[in-house]
A and B are shown apart, each in its own frame.
Chain A
Amino acid sequence: VSMPALNPFTGHYLVHYTRPTAAEENRRMLAELLERIATGCAAADTALIGHIKAFAAQPGGGYLTASVTSARVPAQVEAGGHQPQDRLEVCLTVLAYGLERERLEQIVAEAWQDLAGEGLMLSVRRLPATQFSQAPEERFT
């Protein structure tokens, strides 16, 4: 039995907001981001969404995690040690069977664009994935 191909996409982003955001605002933003990506994967005829997940870190050490496994169910988001901050670092991985990495990258970029046009986001900058292993104070500059 042959299985559809899996081409993981990983993205690392720094989000600047117009003002410090509450935990609930970041929860909603991450949930919307992942749900838009899941919807995009389904619209692109993925054979199966494996997992779309994110880890978001704040300068002060707070964090959020988000996860979704289907375009039909809401994303689950948890927060720990959250404090209002105007920046948020977001790392996400998209594992969707049968879609090329370039297609996933496009779906993720469109999801960010849609979100940026609606809310409190000032800018979203893509960072090198390798930068995630650096100390938090270096990553947020």
Chain B
Amino acid sequence: VNLAIVAGFLGSGKTTLILSIAGQLSAAGSKVAIVENEVGEIGIDGALIRCAGLTVRELSNGCICCQLSADLVPTLEALAAEFSPHWVIIEPSGIAEPKRMLAVLPYYHGPPLTMVRVLTLVDPTRIPELFEVLTPLVTAQVRAAELVVINKIDLASGEQLAAARALVRQVNPKARLVEVCARRGVEMDLFNLERAR
């Protein structure tokens, strides 16, 4: 089982990106399952993912990195047993810290996780404001990523994109950086995910 955690602050475009990635992985013959986490009582993103015909397990009404962290491992084990996916994509809530999710994975006892990737999405139109108001959270999300995806490039000005790049580089100089408009679809090559199958 390959595992991708698609993190990022609220409204950064995680669900849109996941729909694009999962659709392409499925079209290439991979079995893809999605774990959808929402802080709200109703799984709005889960409903959309089901409309796209994808397999989804929802963890709602709390954050997967804190209140619901005990549910993550059993959910992954149940998915692996029932569905035998090649890929599990986790969409944590926008207030989750990926490092806390990684910390519970050693307790997972399902089929081996052959690869674990952390992607963090960044909205360049909002990131300076987010860093100002929610410094610890946004820093933790960017710092945990091996790949930072600057999304919504169609909505951002040149200055906003340059500022987002600089902030990301400052927080996580080692991460690979890509820029996309997830709404228009993304190319799998950008993420090197299809090679992992």
Contacts and interface: CB of A to CB of B under 8 A. Distances in A.
Interface of A: 1, 3-4, 6, 8-10, 12, 47-48, 50-51, 53-55, 57, 63, 65, 67-70, 73, 76, 80-81, 91-93, 95, 97, 129, 132
Q: Is the interface of B mostly helix, strand, loop or mixed?
A: loop
B159 interface: no
B133 A95 contact: no
A84 B36 CA distance: 30
Contacts of B133: 3-4, 47-48, 97
A86 to B, nearest CB: 21
Q: Is the interface of A mostly helix, strand, loop or mixed?
A: strand
Interface of B: 9-11, 38-45, 47-48, 51, 94-95, 123, 125-126, 129-130, 133-137, 155, 183
Contact of A3 (B42, B48, B94, B136): B136
B44 A63 contact: no
Contacts of B136: 1, 3
Given A93-B38, A95-B39, A95-B40, 15 more contacts: A6-B39, A10-B41, A48-B130, A48-B133, A48-B134, A53-B11, A53-B45, A54-B44, A55-B47, A57-B47, A63-B51, A73-B155, A91-B44, A93-B44, A129-B42
Best-buried of B42, B43, B155, B183 by chain A (most CB within 10 Å): B42
A48 B130 CA distance: 8
A132 B42 contact: yes
Contacts of B94: 50-51, 95
B129 A48 contact: yes
Nearest to A130: B41
Contacts of A93: 38-42, 44
A92 B43 CA distance: 10
B46 to A, nearest CB: 9
Contacts of B38: 93
24 contacts: A3-B133, A3-B134, A8-B39, A8-B40, A50-B11, A50-B94, A50-B95, A53-B11, A53-B44, A55-B47, A55-B48, A57-B47, A63-B48, A63-B51, A68-B11, A69-B11, A69-B126, A70-B126, A73-B125, A93-B40, A93-B41, A95-B94, A97-B133, A132-B42
Contact of A129 (B41, B45, B130, B135): B41
A48 B94 CA distance: 14
A132 B41 CA distance: 10
Contacts of A6: 39, 95
Contact of B135 (A1, A57, A67, A92): A1
A97 B11 CA distance: 14
A73 to B, nearest CB: 8
B47 A51 contact: no
Given A6-B95, A70-B126, A51 B42 contact: no
A29 B38 CA distance: 24
Nearest to A80: B51
A69 B40 contact: no
Nearest to A65: B48
Contacts of A73: 125, 155
Closest 4 CB pairs of A and B: A93-B40, A51-B10, A69-B11, A50-B10
